[in-house]
């Protein structure tokens, strides 16, 4: 039995971006574009109308800050996974969106397969941050700072989580067993007072750890 595609709303004030997303999603059997918006108010309305699995949200819409849009949507529909798309690594704006509940942040020049892969990850509860964005948001405080500071290995795991890697992929990347990676993840979640990856990334971003 075939699975219904995941539903997506796209919000961007550039018609060519909307058209490109429409074309991309129409070619995927895993996703279906159900709504389009060109302002923040429209994005909130479309999410209310269609209750999509994911929202592709431009970081800069003409009427509302993206963090405000995220907050309003997540308050009413916490199950909607929000993917921020941006042309520039605007640190404060990105941090605000992650704190407000966005699950991912990607540059607009992301290739089609990477975007679809990121969408698939966020609808399954994972978080994805483009490494270039994470790199632009270098720590203000080192991982060896105040109480509850992350160890070097925990910080390394955190950065790989920000790239959207699974536990097995992280284990392969740094040469540890999956159980050891899980142990590091549990420890860093505890130190960040987070219950899952999305919360951990939001807190870590707020604290300047990624």
Give the residue, 1 or 195, on which the prediction is more confident: 195
Q: What is the pLDDT of residues 12-61, one digit of tens each?
A: 999 999 999 999 999 999 999 999 999 999 999 999 999 999 999 999 99
Q: What is the pLDDT of residue 125?
A: 84
Coarse DSSP helix, strand, coil percentages of the chain, rounded to the nearest 5 percent: 50, 15, 35
Residues 73, 144 share a domain = no
In a domain, 1, yes or no: no
Which residue segment(s) compose the domain that 148 sits in? Answer: 139-206
Tell me whether residue 18 is in a domain: yes
Dihedral Cα 93, 96, 100, 104, nearest 10 deg? 60
| Domain annotation covers residue 189 | yes
Shared-domain flag, residues 143 and 131 = no
Q: What is the DSSP letter of 78?
A: T
Provide the pLDDT for residue 132.
72
Instruction: Clarify whether residues 122 and 155 are in a common domain.
Output: no
Which tens digits make up the pLDDT trace of 123-175? 988 888 887 776 555 444 444 344 468 888 898 899 888 888 889 989 998 99
pTM of the model: 0.70
User: How confident is residue 88, by pLDDT bands cut at 50, 70 and 90?
Assistant: confident
Based on the structure, what is the number of domains in the chain?
Answer: 2
Adjacent-strand bridge partners of 32: 7
Tell me if 58 sits within 8 A of 17, measured CB to CB: yes
Q: What is the pLDDT of residues 29-38, one digit of tens each?
A: 999 999 999 9
Among 112, 129, 117, 123, which residue's Cα sits nearest to residue 4?
123
| Residue 116 structure tokens | 């679809």
Inside any domain, residue 168? yes
pLDDT digits (tens, 9 = 90+) for 139-150: 444 443 444 688
Phi, psi at 151, each rounded to 5°:
-75, 165
């Amino acid at each position: 039995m075939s699975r219904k595609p995941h539903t997506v709303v796209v919000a961007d004030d550039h018609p060519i971006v909307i058209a490109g997303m429409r074309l991309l999603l129409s070619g995927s059997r895993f996703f279906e574009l159900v709504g389009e918006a060109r302002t923040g108010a429209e994005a909130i309305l479309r999410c209310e109308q269609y209750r999509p699995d994911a929202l592709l949200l431009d970081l800069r819409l003409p009427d509302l800050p993206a963090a405000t849009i995220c907050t309003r949507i997540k308050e009413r529909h916490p199950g909607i996974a929000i993917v921020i798309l941006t042309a520039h690594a605007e640190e404060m704006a990105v941090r605000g969106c992650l704190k407000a509940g966005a699950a991912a942040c990607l540059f607009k020049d992301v290739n089609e397969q990477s975007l679809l892969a990121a969408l698939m990850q966020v609808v399954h509860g994972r978080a994805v941050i483009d490494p270039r964005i994470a790199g632009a948001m270098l720590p203000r405080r080192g991982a060896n700072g105040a109480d509850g500071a992350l160890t070097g290995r925990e910080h390394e795991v955190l950065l790989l989580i920000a790239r959207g890697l699974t536990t097995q992929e992280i284990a392969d990347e740094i040469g540890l067993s999956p159980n050891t990676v899980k142990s590091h993840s549990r420890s860093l979640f505890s130190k960040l007072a987070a219950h899952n990856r999305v919360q951990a990334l939001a807190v870590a971003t707020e604290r300047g750890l990624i």
